């Protein structure tokens, strides 16, 4: 017992020293900037400590590290600046020169992805103090490659012009944020659908964690059914992406389930710090030896390519072909292609980016009663600026990553989490061979656990009234099944508007004599564009241009439609309008889900 007690004593002493260092940093000016607990800041964040934020940042990075390899692989399919020989078939299949150019392009995009994710996460964390990391969006990169540019440039918009559209799009987003339009877009969405967005993203994460591309490989796309059971080794997938045999017999999947999932959940039950990092690290290390049935480096062409890259350990590849390659000559057909790309990205990105960022802010518990969150304008402007910067690197639009939920679940509450993640990405510029070799089954179970934490918000959806329940369900179901946050939100809003408009017409024309069941339980809705919803600078201008009596006149109506994010029921309160007492609607706040303490 002597050696054991010595080790235990040494560990306790080490923990005490770390605790002292932690407290000193928290009380310093550095801690006050990020509002750490004990910093003395009037708005210090309870439970936010330096080492906990760093640990959360490492967790977020571990779940996002796959984008270094995946994003470069997807974007390289667009062909980038590589061009097919004149007169060849679209995509020039089998062309050796094109394949060699794509290899260089992929290495460029590995560097661009790591640099862009690092820079954008650091900027976002510093300016907003939110634990949300940014990077090239995974759904957006596929949309960019396969819908807009096309495989090897066979789509309707050339690669260079698509990057020009993304560059301009960032400035449009910034203008919308400064004028308050992006914030208004969030406020106009009914609270029950915003809550459903968080649940839908949780299900979306779960689906990603179960897939082959970035998860444990338990499900796959089916031919006769939308989804099919998977779990077979990748080489057993047939032409329709279904398992031809050995269903649920892949050793890599079971290692991901038991070590990356069940073991991590077991450690979380006992509040073990860094449980998620431990699980990802163990699975990765076990998957690196080559002479196993679950190796990440099998003796195949793809496995050999991974292994040769992994053997470099330390390597830096400068960007050669994708840096600032926008096409600014928009005369003739180029102008039409630019307009097509700009409109296409605008309607997809503004919904995807805005909804994801709001859901992450709500998941970490900083959304206020009016549906906004601290420094929202700065957050949206930073996100917009990073979109334009990303186009200069040759990447698809940057967005808030839903994998940030893993860091939030680990205890991240401030921008230090995002900054730590960003620093890890910048370090990965030199250690990309190792970090790009984290297998998908190492992080898949983690994404499922995060989905489990996010889906608890489902109890806050207004299930009592069908006019709120059906659109919410469509939203949360459509996100994973359409593999898009944007399409899920569009579907939910469409159902909400159509269904509730039909109900309103019946109630209006019958003077309230015919009402649906549980009509009194409906959520009060507002377009969220009242005077109190204006951005601060616009309210300031209004006060300067108009006198107080002109702006604060008597209200003719006695009913105020309060913000939907904090209303799911009505009560009554009295107000005065033209010396008459009337009843107005009040609100009841949605209960926020407190995240479990992992400390």
State if pTM tops 0.85: no
State mean pLDDT over 215-241.
82
Parallel, antiparallel, or unpaired for β 398-400 and 134-136? antiparallel
pLDDT value for 466: 92
More confident residue, 186 or 278: 278
pLDDT in tens, 337-354: 888 788 777 767 777 777
Residue 271 burial (CB < 10 Å; 0-12/13-18/19+)? Answer: exposed
> Roughly what angle, to the nearest 10 degrees, separates helices 415-435 and 50-64?
40
Residue 535, pLDDT score: 62
Which of 233-247, 285-299, 451-465 is modeled with the greatest confidence?
Answer: 285-299
The secondary structure of residue 364, as a DSSP letter, is T
* pLDDT for res 127: 92
| Predicted pLDDT at 574 | 33
Residue 561 scores a pLDDT above 60: no
Number of Cβ within a 10 Å radius of residue 179: 15
% of the chain surpassing 70 pLDDT? 86
Q: How far is CA 173 from the centre of its chain?
A: 17
- The per-residue pLDDT for range 160-180, each reduced to its tens digit, is 999 999 999 999 988 888 887
Residue 583 clears pLDDT 60, i.e. is over it: no
pLDDT at residue 552 above 80?
Answer: no
Which residues have a Cβ under 8 Å from the Cβ of 344 and sit 6 or more positions away?
147, 148, 165
Q: CA separation (Å) from 272 to 131, 354, 383, 456, 597?
A: 21, 33, 33, 22, 10
Lowest-confidence range among 98-102, 479-483, 497-501, 524-528? 524-528
| Predicted pLDDT of residue 526 | 67
Determine the average pLDDT of the residues in 555-573.
32
C-alpha dist (Å) from residue 225 to 199, 211, 222, 229, 232: 24, 16, 5, 10, 17
- Name which residue leads in pLDDT, 223 or 316: 316
Q: Residue 564: its pLDDT value, please?
A: 33
Confidence band for 472, pLDDT divided at 50, 70 and 90: very high
| Mean pLDDT for the stretch of residues 412-435 | 88
Instruction: Tell me the pLDDT tens digit for each residue of 104-125.
Output: 888 888 899 999 999 999 999 9
pLDDT exceeds 60 at position 566: no
At residue 588, does pLDDT exceed 60?
no
Q: How far apart are CA 519 and CA 523, in angstroms?
A: 9
pLDDT band at residue 593 under the 50/70/90 scheme: very low
- Which pLDDT score, from 0 to 100, does residue 273 have? 66
Q: How far is CA 432 from the centre of its chain?
A: 22
User: For residue 48, is pLDDT > 60?
Assistant: yes
Q: Tens digits of per-residue pLDDT, 11-39?
A: 787 878 878 887 888 888 888 888 888 88
């Amino acid at each position: 017992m002597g050696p054991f007690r010595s080790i235990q004593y040494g560990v306790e002493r080490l923990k005490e020293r770390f605790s002292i260092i932690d407290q000193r940093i928290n009380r310093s000016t550095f801690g006050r900037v990020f509002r750490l607990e004990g910093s003395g800041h009037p708005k210090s964040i309870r439970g936010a400590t330096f080492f906990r934020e760093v640990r959360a940042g490492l967790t977020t990075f571990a779940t996002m590290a796959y984008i270094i390899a995946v994003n470069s692989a997807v974007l390289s399919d667009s062909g980038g600046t590589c061009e097919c020989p004149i007169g060849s078939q679209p995509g020039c299949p089998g062309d050796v020169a094109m394949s060699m150019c794509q290899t260089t392009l992929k290495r460029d995009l590995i560097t661009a992805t790591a640099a862009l994710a690092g820079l954008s996460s650091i900027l976002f964390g510093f300016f907003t103090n939110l634990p949300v990391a940014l990077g090239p969006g995974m759904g957006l990169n596929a949309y960019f490659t396969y819908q807009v540019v096309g495989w090897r440039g066979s789509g309707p918009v050339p690669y260079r012009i698509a990057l020009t559209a993304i560059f301009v799009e960032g400035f449009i987003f910034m203008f919308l944020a400064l004028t308050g339009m992006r914030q208004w877009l969030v406020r106009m969405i009914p609270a029950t659908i915003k809550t459903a967005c968080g649940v839908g993203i949780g299900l979306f994460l779960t689906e990603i964690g179960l897939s082959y591309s970035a998860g444990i490989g338990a499900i796959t796309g089916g031919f006769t059914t939308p989804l099919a059971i998977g779990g077979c080794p990748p080489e057993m997938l047939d032409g329709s992406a279904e398992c031809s045999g050995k269903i649920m017999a892949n050793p890599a999947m079971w290692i991901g389930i038991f070590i990356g999932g069940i073991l991590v959940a077991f450690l979380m039950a006992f509040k073990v710090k860094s449980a998620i990092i431990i699980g990802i690290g163990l699975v990765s290390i076990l998957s690196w030896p080559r002479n196993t049935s679950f190796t990440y480096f099998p003796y195949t062409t793809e496995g050999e390519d991974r292994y040769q890259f992994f053997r470099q350990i330390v390597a830096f590849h400068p960007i050669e072909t994708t840096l600032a390659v926008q096409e600014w000559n928009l005369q003739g057909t180029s102008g039409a292609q630019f307009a097509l790309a700009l409109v296409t990205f605008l309607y997809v990105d503004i919904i995807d980016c805005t909804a994801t960022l709001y859901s992450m802010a709500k998941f970490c518990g900083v959304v206020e009663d009016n549906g906004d969150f601290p420094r929202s304008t700065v957050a949206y402007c930073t996100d917009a600026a990073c979109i334009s910067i990303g186009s200069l690197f040759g990447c698809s639009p940057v967005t808030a990553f839903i994998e940030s939920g893993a860091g939030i679940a680990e205890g991240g509450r401030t921008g230090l989490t995002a900054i730590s993640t960003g620093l890890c990405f910048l370090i990965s510029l030199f250690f990309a061979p190792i970090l790009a070799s984290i297998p998908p089954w190492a992080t898949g179970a983690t994404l499922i656990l995060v989905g489990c934490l996010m889906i608890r918000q489902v109890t806050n959806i207004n299930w009592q009234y069908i006019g709120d329940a059906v659109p919410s369900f469509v939203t949360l179901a459509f996100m994973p099944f359409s593999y898009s946050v944007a399409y899920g939100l569009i579907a939910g809003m469409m159902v909400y508007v159509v269904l509730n408009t039909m109900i309103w017409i019946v109630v209006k024309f019958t003077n309230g004599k015919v009402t649906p069941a549980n009509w009194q339980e409906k959520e009060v809705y507002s377009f969220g564009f009242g005077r109190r919803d204006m951005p601060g600078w616009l309210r300031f201008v209004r006060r300067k241009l108009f006198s107080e009596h002109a702006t604060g006149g008597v209200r003719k109506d006695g009913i105020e439609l309060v913000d939907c994010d904090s209303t799911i029921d009505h009560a009554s309160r009295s107000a005065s309008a033209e010396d008459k007492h009337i009843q107005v609607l009040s609100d009841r706040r949605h209960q926020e889900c407190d995240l479990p303490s992992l400390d």
